[in-house]
Amino acid sequence: MKKYFAVLVVLLLCVFCAVFAEDLPKVAQVAEIKGTLEMKKPSEQGWSCVSVKTPAYIQDQFKTDENSVADLEFLVGGHVGINKNTIIEITGVRDAKDVTKKSLTQKIILKAGAVWAKFSGQDKSLQFQTQGGVLAIKGTEFVVEENPASKETKVYVLEGEVAYTTPKEEIKAKAGDKITMPWENVPVVKHYEPAELKNECKNNFAELYEGIKNILQFVGMAQSFSGASVMDTSSLGYASMAVDVINNPADAVKNYAVNTASSYVPGPFGSLISSAASNESKEEKKPDFPTGLSPDQTEICDANPYFSWGSYEGADSYLVLLSPKEDMKDLYWSQQVTSTSVQYPSWAKTLEKGVKYYWRVIAVCKDAAKNDKPLSKASQTFFNVVAAGL
């Protein structure tokens, strides 16, 4: 009898664990890996390698080795770049008022190493747990480093503000502040020019920065269009921070907005039908989007075509994007260039014969802090790839 009872208990526990595991909310997904990224689930004993687009749930842990960096995109509206030799754990709590039985991330525990994070516009507060204290953030960019050798935590605030609660006090830090928190002593706060502090981080965490710099750039560009990220539980991926951009040249397109998702590169996606762009030339006012796009509604027989467009006044560079879908949901290629022409690179996804491809260009300029920001709305057109030459 005792034997049957023991078996029954084990079966019930297995069922409970299975149900609980399925009920854990998805809060992020792997956006980038340079090297190897390992994940450990609460129901597993060991670590296993994961790939880009792997979903992350509450209670999952992630680990990099001495040769690897990675990036996670979070549902609350931001990214966490994971440095070499780093371990993080995602924790959260269930909201009793949430009838959908979902939960947003409440805390990211930095167990070892360093992270470079950028968040903007999330509705719920988010915390980073360190040995030195708890870091509360909302709409900011920062780096956190745990150093077991020196037994101290360092926080570099690059944008926005953070509240760092230590066992003895709460520190309100702003852009340019560097907090050094000895685990058994009082914290030290030093202020730098934000650009100077960011350069220090670029040098100290060079491989991490190189691995995520495009992500950081596009997060900022998307935010500059909308003022906040627009995250969606059904659409993670860089461009799930898509923005509503109204393109209405000469009343040709009325309230035409885009809210798109990409599985590869984030970006401030606007959309403009090429015929509407050509109609704008009849108007006296200057178009607020790049013109003269080529190829434009034509057929090509080149696997690596050249793209060109007219120069846009005030632009320092241009963001070019290509997809087989008009709404850019499956982005094949994105590149920022300083010229008004660029060739489709050999490393991008191969163009296939018989397929229509859409491409967009956005003018970009530098702001006072030397950060890239969109200068224009987006122009879009398409071309068809024919069999010859492929």
Q: Which amino acid is present at 160?
A: G
CA end-to-end span of the chain: 73
Question: What are the Cα distances from residue 381, in Å, to 55, 264, 283, 358?
Answer: 33, 20, 20, 6
Q: Return the DSSP state at 349.
A: P
Confidence band for 23, pLDDT divided at 50, 70 and 90: low
- Which tokens hold the place of 316? 């320092």
> Is residue 319 within 8 Å of residue 342, measured between CB atoms?
no
Residue with tokens 């090429």: 274
CA distances from 183 to 81, 113, 167, 188, 288 (A): 24, 15, 9, 12, 54
pLDDT per residue as tens digits for the range 73-119: 887 667 899 999 999 999 875 443 444 444 455 789 999 999 999 87
Record: fold of 242-385: Immunoglobulin-like (2.60.40)
Whether residue 49 has pLDDT greater than 90: yes
* SS3 label, residue 219: helix
Question: What pLDDT sits at residue 253?
Answer: 26
Backbone angles phi, psi at 73, to 5 degrees: -105, 130
Is the model more confident about 242 or about 96?
96
- The CA distance from 133 to 202, in Å, is 24
- pLDDT, position 27: 81
pLDDT of residue 82: 96
Flag whether pLDDT at 256 surpasses 80.
no
pLDDT in tens, 158-182: 988 888 888 778 888 999 999 998 8
Answer whether residue 292 shows pLDDT above 50: yes
Residue 180: exposure state from Cβ atoms within 10 A (0-12, 13-18, ≥19): middle
Match 């950028």 to its residue by tokens: 118
Residue 250 gets which letter from DSSP? G
* Nearest residue to 129 via CA among 99, 106, 152, 149: 106
Number of Cβ within 10 Å of residue 359's Cβ equals 23
Looking at the predicted structure, is the pLDDT value of residue 361 above 70?
yes
Cis peptide before 295 (omega within 30 of 0): yes
φ, ψ of residue 370 in degrees (nearest 5): 70, 25
Cα–Cα distance, 293 to 281 (Å, whole number): 13
Q: In 3D, which of 252, 292, 143 has the Cα closest to residue 203?
A: 143
CA nearest to 142, candidates 110, 168, 167: 110
Instruction: Report the DSSP pairing between strands 161-165 and 152-159.
Output: unpaired
Q: Lowest mean pLDDT: which of 19-23, 69-73, 113-117?
A: 19-23
Residue whose token pair is 């689930």:
41
Please tell me whether the overall predicted TM-score, pTM, comes out greater than 0.85 for this model.
no
Residue 6 pLDDT = 47
3-state percent helix, strand, coil for the chain, nearest multiple of 5 = 15, 35, 45
Q: Residue 275: phi, psi to the nearest 5?
A: -60, -35
Q: Which pairs count as long-range contacts for 256-259, CB under 8 Å and 24+ apart, including other chains? A: 258/327, 258/328, 259/230
> In the chain, where are the structural domains located?
22-215, 242-385
CA 36 to CA 205: how far, in whole Å?
Answer: 17
Integer Cα distance of 230 and 148 in angstroms: 37
The CATH class, in words, for 22-215 is mainly beta
DSSP state letters, 18-85:
HHHHHHSPEEEEEEEEES-EEEE-TT-SS-EEE-TT-EEETT-EEEE-TT-EEEEEETTTEEEEE-TT
